[in-house]
Amino acid sequence: MEVRPNPTEDNASIPQPHHRHAAAAPLKQATNSPIPVDTSSVSQRLQKELMSLMMSGGDLGVSAFPEGESIFTWIGTIEGGKGTMYEGLSYKLSLRFPMDYPFKPPQIKFETMCFHPNVDQFGNICLDILQDKWSSAYDCRTILLSIQSLLGEPNPESPLNSYAAALWCNKEDYQKMVHKQYFAGEAFES
């Protein structure tokens, strides 16, 4: 049985997933199941992240809490950053943590309508740290701050919303669309 280290405050000390080891010795691993999932250590990690967020996140314009009884499903909030076209707006997100978190990224979607080059009409987000640049060193606070930063600094070269990407150059029209979709979506939620 493989033993994993306990997550610590300094997440940088967490080793990368042991996929390389499994690939190096496929014959030894053939009869074993994949890395066992210890949901209690994942729950403990999420509890730590929740406490960390509660202590500092609100000051940074980000927050998140478990939705209902499950520690694996959260609702988050991001305030638009000062000096951005999203300033004064508050966005709700859903966060779903996989059983093998932090070795796999959570699934995060905007629940509030968000007009943005890297957010599609369904709230899906195109952000490298949620996909191929994921690291087990990231935590919920880091993710929310990265999404908050993405609002003010989109990547129009890799758009999910090509209309928003094209409009990004025209700041006045772009901001009108941000507010139009935000307030239309808010009325829709009510």
User: Is residue 109 within 8 Å of residue 102, measured between CB atoms?
Assistant: no
CA-closest candidate to residue 146, choices 176, 125, 172, 171: 125
More confident residue, 23 or 178: 178
Structural domain boundaries, residue 165: 39-189
CA-closest candidate to residue 147, choices 87, 79, 97: 79
Q: What is the pLDDT of residues 69-78, one digit of tens each?
A: 999 999 999 9
User: Is 7 a member of any domain?
Assistant: no
Residue found under tokens 């093998």: 100
Name the band, by pLDDT with cuts 50, 70 and 90, for residue 55.
Answer: confident
User: Is 51 a member of any domain?
Assistant: yes
User: Is 10 a member of any domain?
Assistant: no
Number of domains comprising the chain: 1
Which residues are known catalytic residues? 126
CATH at residue 99 = 3.10.110.10
User: Is 13 a member of any domain?
Assistant: no
State the pLDDT at residue 46: 96
